[in-house]
């Protein structure tokens, strides 16, 4: 991440599907994304996220750096593999702000809670692979990632 400003406080919103490194038995690691069976089955229960500013450069006495509005939610996203596969996946969103400063690194954690069933079965991760998914995704005409399906905050099951 890179965000730098001078005398105007500027907010920069970010929104990324979370990818992970997965151990492949006997074959090292691969980068992939978890498709989630939702909302047809409600595999997605909740997700929590935090993001912290790790590295920033102060450029003046009035400098200000911040990160806020951090959420992890379930979105429908379209992968840019040849079949333009549409999946539901956890997306990390937030805002960083900068004034007379440069923000170059943030750290994050996203934890996901799921319920699983035999039918429909759990979908395996989709790997980044030559000729397949590149790790990127398609935006709609407005530049949006995809419709929000469910917020990451757990719904109250006991009320």
Partner 1 sequence: MPFGLPVTPPDRVYTFENVAPGPQHQQIYYSHP
Q: What residues line the site for partner 1 (CB under 8 A)?
A: 18-20, 34, 45, 54-61, 90, 105-116, 122, 156, 158
Q: In angstroms, rounded to a whole number, what is the distance separating the alpha carbons of residues 90 and 18?
A: 6
The distance of closest approach from Cβ of residue 121 to partner 1 in the complex, given in angstroms and rounded to an integer, is 12
CA 118 centroid distance within chain: 27
Cβ closer to partner 1: 84 or 116? Answer: 116
The distance of closest approach from Cβ of residue 21 to partner 1 in the complex, given in angstroms and rounded to an integer, is 9
Cβ closer to partner 1: 29 or 115? Answer: 115
Cβ closer to partner 1: 76 or 104? Answer: 104
Q: Of 94, 92, 87, give the one whose Cα is nearest residue 73.
A: 92
Tell me the C-alpha to C-alpha distance, in Å, between residue 132 and each of 75, 86, 91.
21, 14, 21
E strand or H helix at 20, and its extent? strand 20-23
Cβ closer to partner 1: 32 or 146? Answer: 32
The distance of closest approach from Cβ of residue 45 to partner 1 in the complex, given in angstroms and rounded to an integer, is 6
The distance of closest approach from Cβ of residue 156 to partner 1 in the complex, given in angstroms and rounded to an integer, is 6
Contact between 10 and 63 under an 8 Å Cβ cutoff? The reply is: no
Sequence-distant (6+) residues with CB within 8 A of 85 are 78, 79, 126, 133
The distance of closest approach from Cβ of residue 28 to partner 1 in the complex, given in angstroms and rounded to an integer, is 19
Cβ closer to partner 1: 42 or 85? Answer: 42
Q: In angstroms, rounded to a whole number, what is the distance separating the alpha carbons of residues 11 and 3?
A: 9
């Amino acid at each position: 991440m890179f965000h730098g400003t001078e005398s105007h406080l500027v907010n920069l919103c970010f929104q990324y599907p979370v990818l992970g490194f997965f151990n492949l038995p006997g074959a090292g690691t691969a980068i992939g994304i978890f498709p989630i069976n939702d909302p047809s089955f409600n595999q997605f229960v909740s997700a929590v996220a935090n993001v912290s500013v790790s590295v920033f450069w102060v450029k003046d006495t009035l400098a200000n750096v911040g990160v806020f509005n951090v959420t992890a939610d379930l979105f429908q996203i379209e992968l840019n593999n040849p079949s333009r596969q549409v999946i539901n996946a956890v997306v990390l969103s937030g805002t960083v702000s900068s004034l007379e400063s440069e923000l170059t690194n943030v750290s994050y954690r996203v934890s996901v809670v799921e319920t699983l069933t035999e039918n429909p079965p759990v979908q395996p991760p989709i790997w980044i692979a030559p000729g397949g998914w590149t790790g990127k995704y398609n935006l709609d005409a407005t530049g949006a990632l995809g419709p929000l399906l469910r917020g990451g905050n757990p719904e109250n099951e006991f009320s």
